[in-house]
Structures are given as C-alpha cells and as structure tokens.
Amino acid sequence: MDPLNEVPSSAYAEGTCFRSRDRIGDFPQSEPPIAPGQTLLLALQKLIIPLVQETLPDSKDRQYDMPLGHEAEDLLSALQRYITSIIKCRSESKSVNETTLTVDLKDKSSQVAPSRKKAGQGGNANKTSTVHGSPTQDLRNDTHELLAMAMVELQARVFNDMPIRLLRTEKQGTKICISLLDRAAIYSYLVPQLKDRFLLWKEKWQRSSTKNLIPQSQMHLIRSEWISDVAKYAILSHTWLRSTPGEVTYDDWQKGNFDLKHPPYEKVVNFCRVAEDHHSISLGWMDTICIDKSSSSELDESIRSMYKWYQKAKVCITYLAETSTISDMAADTWFTRGWTLQELLAPQRIKFYARNWRPLTQINALNDKFYSEIQLKIQKATTITPSDLSSPSSASMSRKMQWAAERKVTRGEDIAYSLMGIFNVSISIAYGEGSEAAFVRLVKKILNNSKSESLDIFNWAGPYKTNASALIPSNPQAYLLRDEQLKLPTTLREPLLLTHLGLRVSVLLLSSIPATLSTRLFTPIGDYYASVNLLKYSPHFKYPTPTVHNVLDVRTDLFTQLDLVRHRCLSFAILNCDGDEYGNIFVPTQCLAIGLLHTGHVPGAATTLESKSKVLTQKPVVFQLKKKTQNPARNPNQHETIPKIELARHGMQFLQMYL
C-alpha cells in the first residue's frame, strides 16, 4: 500500500507552508538589487582612492594600514550602509499574494530514505583552486572585487540559464515551507549563499602559503565553482494526472487554491521534500506550477528553453506513477509521452522514483542513467541504447526521429516542439497551425541549421501528406522504416533549400525498366548498372509483392513515352551524390534514392513533381551502382568518380530538382 495514502488529508493542513513569492518589494525583475549596489561601491572606490592618495603627504609617518584617509573611509562606509539598508528594507517586504498552509512531516518520514550529507558539510563546499602558472593577481586588496564579479556572473546565470520560476523549500522543524520565486527573488535568495561560499574560500586562501598570488587564468574557474555550488536546482519529470481536478497550476498557486484532499498536492510536497532530503537542493522546477500558461511569451520561452533547463539541472527527479519496482518500469506511461523523451536525454543526472516516492535504486547510486539494470529497461521501452543515453547528440537525425516516432502528445504540434532541443534548433510556438505544419517547420530548421548529416533526414519510407516536399514526411512515424545500415556523407557542398516548389536538391537521375519485360540479362547503356528490388507501400497490403527494376538498361532508349507510362517505368533520383568545381560527380557505394514514376512528360524537361510522382515504398530505396569492369583492388567503401561530361554516355543526368 502506498504510505502516502495512509496519512489523513488533515495532516497536510498542519505542516506545509505554500507561498507565492513572485514579487520581492518593488524591484523590477530585470534589476536584481544587490550586485548593482556592490558594483557601484567598487566603482566609487576605484575613483576615490587615487584622488585621496594623491593628496596624502609623503611622510615617513604615513599610516599604510589606512591609506584612504578617514574622510574617504567614512564616505564609503556611509554609502555601503545606505545601499545595505535599502536592500534589506526591500528584500524583507512580503508579496501581497502570499498564501500559506502547513503539513507536519513527523508521521511521514518513513517515505523518504535517510538524507545525504548537506551541501557545505563536505564535498564541494571547501574546494579551492590550486595556484599554478603565471601571470598572477595580487588579491590582498581585490577580494571584494572578486566577489562582486562573481555576483554579476551569478546574475547572468540566474537570468539566462535558469528557469523563469522555481519552487523554494525551507525546512522548519517538522514543517516544510514551499515558496514560488521569480528570477529576481531567486537571485536575492542565492546571493547570501554565494557570499558564504566566498568567505569559506577566503578563509582557506588566507591560510595558504600563496595567499597573495593567484593565476589570473584560475580566477574565472574559482568564480564558476562558487556559482555552480549555489545556483543549483532539481527538476521534475513526470506524467500529468488525467483525473479531475488535475495538476496544480500556476493560476491555482496564485489564487491559493490548495485542496489537500487531492494527489496533485502530494506530488508537489514530495518532489520538493525529496529534492531537499535526498539531494540537498532547496530549489526545484515543475512544469505544472512554474509556467504561467496564460502568457504566450512566457509559454514560448519555456518551451524553447526546456531542454536547456533539464540539461543544466543538478538532478532530474523522474517520478514513475505506475511503477513499483525496476522490473515493471518499462511498462510505465512515462516512456510513451512526447515531452518525456527530452527529459530522458537532456539531464546529466537522473534519479528514478516509484509511485510511493521511494528511489528505484540505492540512494547512494548517483546516476540512474548509467545504472545497468535500468539501462536495459530503458532500451526495452524505447530502443534507446546505453551509448545513446550517454551521448544523444552523436546519434543520426533519422535515429533521433525514430525515438520520437511512437510517442503521444496531447496537442499535435507538441510532437515537433518537443524535439527542438534534441536537434538543437528553435522554432516559434504557434498552437493551432497543426502537427504537420509544425513538423515541416522543424525539419526546415534542421536542414538550414547545418549541412552536417542533413541527407539522413531522407532516410524514411511510407506515406506522406505534406505538400511542402516529397522528401519530408508528415511526422516522425515514417522513420520507423529507416534503413539502419545506411551510411551517408557527413557534409554537403551546398545546403538543402526548402522553397514553395519543394526541396531543392542535386540528384543523379537514372532511368530503368521493370525486369519482367524481359527474361534475359539486361545490357547497360554505358559502364554502370544496378538492380533495384522495390517494395512498394500499400495501406491495404501489409506484405506487398516486390518488383525488380533494371537500372540503366539499354532497352530504355527503345521505349516511347507512352511505353514508359504504360509499363510503369521509373527513374531513380540518387540523393546522396555530390559534385566538385572540376566537373566530377561522386557516387557512393550505397545509393539512397527515390523512385519517380513517369507520367507522360518529356524526360528531363521538367524538374519538379509536376512531371513525375514519387513512388511510396515500405523501406528506403538503397542500392549499389556497379561498374562492368570493376577493379578488384578498389576499396568497396570508396565512392565512384564520374566526369560530368561522360554522364550522357552512361545514360545519366546530374541536375537540380525541386522534390
């Protein structure tokens, strides 16, 4: 039995404090209060010190321990007190929308395993950089400047790399208090921790034998280490509740609509509590509460940034609501949802939790992503291998599409939007455009973003509905039929361009006739030939009969246009060929092509699908272009080089088509 359900709902009214802290005083969100004040003090100090020192008498009795003079020190001290008083006054002011309720955790401690060592009690808290090399910086008078620079960098981290809002967890005895903070409030919350981290470092630095000199190259690393220690957050991956009233939303939180009789509030409490007790992290993000979906700009930013937020989280807490043990986790709905694909691939560290919020692995297992037993279950549920998990960016485009092929989304457009981070592209969010339009925009962005491996986007088969291009499918499901053995060139000389006519691509066009037209072996037109075993796609026949086509058969020249149409002859357009500025055409060993059906137009006169229609197939069309007099010493993986001026002799055409 789930221990969560054994606790009466009234218990939640006694010990959990929920707060909405979207505003801290009257500071604008874009101006965090502390760092600018500290920067002002440093700027004034740099301005005043030289002026004061120039006016000091050059006396042997000069007090080097007080080089600024009493007046300058009094001025700086007064400015510091003034800025500190303003910050304290404003940061202590409470939000007008603060809402609280309580949960006593005394009776629920059995749900969570013993907590790990808190940050600051060991581990990274006392780390410092070793001093090596040159040039060095004298820090006797610059330690405060070092802190000020770290605060500016912390501000950049919070406002550029962290989510728009985070839940903050505070333990108060047996009570837990949860607040919702915006970025300005997050920054204000982290600054004291950064100062503490600085003081720990300064104390150790002052005790070191090289306390006056630190290599300048190390300064940025030192500050980055401090920021990484304090600017950390946990992130939740889960499937949304389908029962009424559903998940707790940002609007519910702002209104204080907390109904503790329903499971959504248990999920919020347990996520924050597990992050604090198991991972020593007091900040957490969950999509249900931390996104204001009534704001289109905020929703757009959140969807575009979500992969990055999961990637930069200290830990991704993955809650499997239908799982009790590792043995049954592969059947969990979590593995079938569209958005959870990036939530599996993006995080550096994942911890899986069962339906009762107990970890599926030992609490000291740092990363379930590399836990062998879980890796096997992930592969069973998703086909994603351990190597894919460790380096998803190295997978081919068609392979990534294959991962998403059978996942489900509530809004059709999300199948495209959820793949942006996986392909490292960004497109505008336009709900209502339809899933097909969103997917075509995604593919167009992928093609425009890089010439590397872009041909692999054509490694699919089956039906397509889009009018944009015959080479772009309507959805990722077409990649279930990809050719897993196909090796394509990693670079193209020219980018692929999607226009209103279709996708502009350079192809090598080869004619063919069905092998059934003759029982004898065919004679090639020139030096090259191929035999293509074509398995046409049919929605009515699961196992259609394959047809064989003789490519570059000399009898093709004897056929009239009517013969080509009547016998359903095909031209094969090789997609993965290329040329150079010297007039050479390079043809790979494995040719990826599409079959174009003759419709009665003059061959070669038109270069769009208005004259030829694509033949739908069960598998990508892949074949080997052979040579009559093959050199036995030739590397079989080496491409074939054909001078462009000789193409006609072999019955070939190299041209640009809009497909």
Write down the number of H helices and E strands in the chain: 16, 22
Indicate whether 538 and 509 sit together in one domain. yes
Q: Which of 134-148, 361-375, 430-444, 567-581 has the lowest mean pLDDT?
A: 134-148
Is residue 401 a contact partner of residue 276, using CB atoms and an 8 Å limit?
Answer: no
- Reported for 419-422, long-range contacts at CB under 8 A and 24+ positions apart, including other chains, are 419/341, 419/342, 419/476, 420/303, 420/304, 420/307, 421/306, 421/307, 421/308, 421/310, 421/311, 421/342, 421/346, 422/307, 422/341, 422/342, 422/345, 422/392
Smallest CA-to-CA distance from 397 within 452, 331, 473, 466 is with 452
Would you call 581 helix, strand, or coil by DSSP?
coil
Indicate if 440 and 534 belong to the same structural domain. no
Structure-model confidence comparison of residues 395 and 131, the more confident one: 395
User: SS3 letters for 408-471?
Assistant: ECCCCCHHHHCCCCCCCCCCCCCCCCCHHHHHHHHHHHHHHHCCCCHHHHHCCCCCCCCCCCCC
pLDDT higher than threshold 60 for residue 129: no
Q: Is the pLDDT of residue 214 over 50?
A: yes
Instruction: Place 209 in a pLDDT band, splitting at 50, 70 and 90.
Output: low
Amino acid 38: pLDDT: 60
Work out the percent of the chain whose per-residue pLDDT is above 90.
Answer: 42
Type of residue found at 187: Y
Tell me how far apart the alpha carbons of residues 348 and 64 are, in angstroms, rounded to a whole number.
51
Residues 531 and 642 in one domain: yes
Confirm if 361 and 8 have CB atoms less than 8 A apart.
Answer: no
* CA–CA gap between residue 314 and residue 550 (Å, rounded): 58
What is the predicted pLDDT for the residue at 84?
A: 55
Beta bridge partners of 533: 548
> Is residue 532 domain-shared with residue 443, that is, in the same domain?
no
Considering 100-104, 140-144, 529-533, the range whose residues carry the highest mean pLDDT is 529-533
Amino acid at 529: Y
Partners of residue 563 on adjacent β-strands? none
Helix H or strand E segment including 397: helix 397-404
Please count the structural domains in the chain: 2
436/542 same-domain check: no
425 inside domain: yes
Hey, what are 80's tokens?
């510091």
Confidence check: pLDDT of 607 > 90: no
The owner of tokens 């191929």 is 530
HEC assignment per residue over 494-539: CCCEEECCEEEEEEEEEEEEEHHHCCCCCCECCCEEEEEEECECCC
Between CA 223 and CA 233, with CA 227 as vertex, the angle to 5 degrees is 165
Considering the domain architecture, whether residues 540 and 462 belong to the same structural domain is answered as no
pLDDT in the model for residue 31 = 40
* pLDDT tier at 126, thresholds 50, 70, 90: very low
Residue 472 lies in a domain: yes
191 pLDDT above the threshold of 80: yes
Residues 231-279 have pLDDT tens digits of: 999 999 999 987 767 888 998 888 876 776 677 888 999 999 999 999 9
Residue 650 belongs to a domain: yes
At 11 the pLDDT is 37
The pLDDT value given to residue 9:
35
Neighbours of 241 (CB within 10 A): 16
Residue 269 within a domain: no
Strands lying side by side in the sheet with 350-353: 16-21, 175-182, 165-172, 283-285, 234-237, 315-319, 350-353
Maximum distance among all alpha carbons in the chain? Answer: 114
Query: Cα 442–445–448 angle (5° rounding)?
Result: 155
Lowest mean pLDDT among 100-114, 286-300, 346-360, 388-402: 100-114
Residue 468 lies in a domain: yes
Domain end residue (candidates: 449, 481, 513): 481
Q: Same domain for 514 and 602?
A: yes
Does one domain contain both 585 and 650? Answer: yes
- Would residue 443 count as lying in a domain? yes
Spatial distance between the Cα atoms of 526 and 532, rounded to a whole number of angstroms: 17
Task: Name which residue leads in pLDDT, 438 or 42.
Answer: 438
Note the pLDDT tens digit of each residue in 274-311. Answer: 999 999 999 999 999 999 999 999 999 999 999 999 99
| Size of the chain, expressed as the number of residues it contains | 659
The single-letter code of the amino acid at 502 is G
Say if residue 446 is in the same domain as residue 561: no
One-letter-per-residue 3-state SS of 250-286 = HHHHHHCCCCCCCHHHHHHHHHHHHHHHHHCCCEEEC
Structural domain boundaries, residue 591: 501-658
The pLDDT of residue 462 is above 90: no
Look at residue 328 and give its three-state secondary structure.
helix
Question: With 60 as the cut, is the pLDDT of residue 434 above it?
Answer: yes
Residue 36 inside a domain? The answer is no
Distance, C-alpha 302 to centroid of its chain: 12
In a domain, 25, yes or no: no
Q: Which pLDDT score, from 0 to 100, does residue 380 have?
A: 96
Rounded to the nearest 5°, which phi and psi values hold at 537? -85, 135
Residues 400 and 539 occupy one common structural domain: no
d(CA 629, CA 622): 22
Q: Looking at the structure, do residues 509 and 555 belong to the same domain, yes or no?
A: yes
Residue 500 neighbours by CB under 8 Å, 6+ apart: none
**pLDDT for 30 beyond 80:** no
425 and 569, same domain (yes or no): no
